[in-house]
Amino acid sequence: MKLLENKRILFICPNFYNYHTEIKQTLEGLGAQVDFYEDMGNSYKDKALAKNPQQLKAYKEKHLKSILQKASQYSYDFLFVVRGELLEPFFITEIKQQHPNITCLMYQWDAIKFNDYTAYLKLFDQVFTFDREDFEKYQGQIQYLPLFFIKNYEQAAATDITQDIDILFVGGWHSDRFELLKACQKFAQKEGLSYYFWLYLPFLYYFKRIVQGKLQYANFVKWSPLTHQQSQALFARSNCIFDIEIPNQSGLTMRTLEALGSGKKLITTNTYITQESFYKPEVIHVIDRDKPSFVKDFIKNPHEPLNMQDYSLESWVKHIFQHK
């Protein structure tokens, strides 16, 4: 019998690079019936709402009451919330009244300092976080669980495609990513290494920075994101993935797990990765973001891929729902 056979799940999650679809499909593959509702996303509408407290409050109430009305038509076994930026306490209270036997689960892929969810810790049966610092601070209330990689990234480890990219970076613009990529680019050019960088900056922000003179020319700055399929194709051609986390956030990024799940080597600015059981310096090179130092031998030397099956999306889902 499948883990979630005949279980119905009310699933709330941001629409973030289509990961919500991957999670939903994995839950369904384990036997669940899943009803998905979107949390706050990254669209211009969402960002505009976030800047207007009165409009945001009205939008939250309307959105959550709509979910409650629809949820009243079914019998739910689980409420599963990822991030939950649009949540309000009344919603959890009413869901529990509607469904007295429901198990409420929350996963956070953001740190408390950026999305304070502490008011909900007592309202959920289990809360998981990708952030090690939050886990250590709230031990007994929050469980530590790193993010995951989706199945298709495993194919990059099994491919026989020629690896013609020594260093790959794919990600959105934030903090000091541009400066670190410029430093890596300079190193690669000096050492004769091939590299491919795709730093996504939405066009309006790109144009604004150009006009303000705040953006130096760089051919790796793009104003459209890559799809999962495009990223996976680049991973298959790459030897080493460069990842740069948000400063002051200890959680491992999705890109970190995708890189290692693809069987690739990783260059990262996240020092917390050295505390993970899978850490091996011959596969993972940690750099100081203030004084980045890249090593050609690390990038070029052959390596044995790590076994990352415990960090697949299916393993991630099973871990959460087996802790109910």
Is the pLDDT at 36 greater than 90, yes or no? yes
Amino acid 1: pLDDT: 67
Closest by CA position to 247, among listed 180, 323, 153, 315: 180
Beta bridge partners of 197: 169
Domain with CATH 3.40.50.11010 in the chain: 8-149+313-322
Q: Could you tell me the two tokens for 66?
A: 């709509």
| 252 exposure class (CB count in 10 Å sphere: 0-12, 13-18, 19+) | buried
H-helix or E-strand spanning residue 243: strand 238-243
How far apart, in whole angstroms, are the C-alpha atoms of residue 214 and residue 209?
A: 5
- 324's tokens: 């109910």
Span 178-182, average pLDDT: 94
What distance in Å separates the CA atoms of residue 310 and residue 316, rounded to the nearest whole number? 8
What is the CATH architecture assignment of 8-149+313-322?
3-Layer(aba) Sandwich (3.40)
Residue 282 CB-density burial (10 A; 0-12 exposed, 13-18 middle, 19+ buried): exposed
What is 151-307's CATH number? 3.40.50
208 has a pLDDT exceeding 70: no
Tokens representing 214? Answer: 């705040």
| Whole-Å CA distances, 171 to 159, 201, 245 | 23, 9, 10
pLDDT tens digits, one per residue of 296-319: 999 999 999 999 999 999 999 999
Q: Does residue 44 register a pLDDT over 50?
A: no
- pLDDT value of residue 179: 93
Q: What per-residue confidence (pLDDT) applies to 105?
A: 98
Task: Give the bridge partners for 199, in sequence order.
Answer: 171, 221
What does the pLDDT read at residue 267? 99
Q: Pick 87 or 323 by higher pLDDT.
A: 87
